[in-house]
């Protein structure tokens, strides 16, 4: 499982459109949005490839200026069956 927190800086006049795009991305949750364009989001997932793709997509969303990783947690499942 992977979990990360990301601070996004977006154009303030595009917040509604950006929120709409982010809400459609699997594993993405918006926790806070400021009128000046700052957003706090988390990304969570069990598939490392999909998780990485999702995190990288955040910076490509139209209207996002910058994406800064604040925290990343990774847990391997070493349990033998």
List pLDDT tens digits, range 24-75. Answer: 999 999 999 999 999 999 999 999 999 999 999 999 999 999 999 999 999 8
Q: What is the pTM of this model?
A: 0.86
Q: Which of 35, 36, 42 is nearest to 7 (CA)?
A: 42
Q: Do the beta carbons of residue 57 and residue 25 sit within 8 Å?
A: yes
Pairing of β 2-10 and β 38-45: antiparallel
Q: In 1-81, where do the E strands start and end?
A: 2-10, 28-33, 38-45, 64-74
The full set of domains in the chain, from first to last, is 2-74 (3.30.70.920)
* Helices within 6-79 (DSSP H only): 15-23, 48-58
Q: Do the beta carbons of residue 69 and residue 3 sit within 8 Å?
A: no
């Amino acid at each position: 499982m992977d979990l990360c927190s990301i601070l996004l800086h977006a154009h303030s006049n595009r917040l509604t459109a950006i929120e709409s795009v982010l809400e459609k991305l699997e594993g993405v949750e918006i926790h806070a949005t400021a009128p000046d364009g700052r957003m706090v989001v988390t990304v969570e997932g069990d598939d490392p490839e999909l998780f990485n793709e999702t995190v990288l997509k955040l910076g490509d969303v139209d209207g996002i200026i910058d994406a800064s990783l604040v925290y990343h947690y990774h847990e391997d499942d070493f349990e033998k069956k």
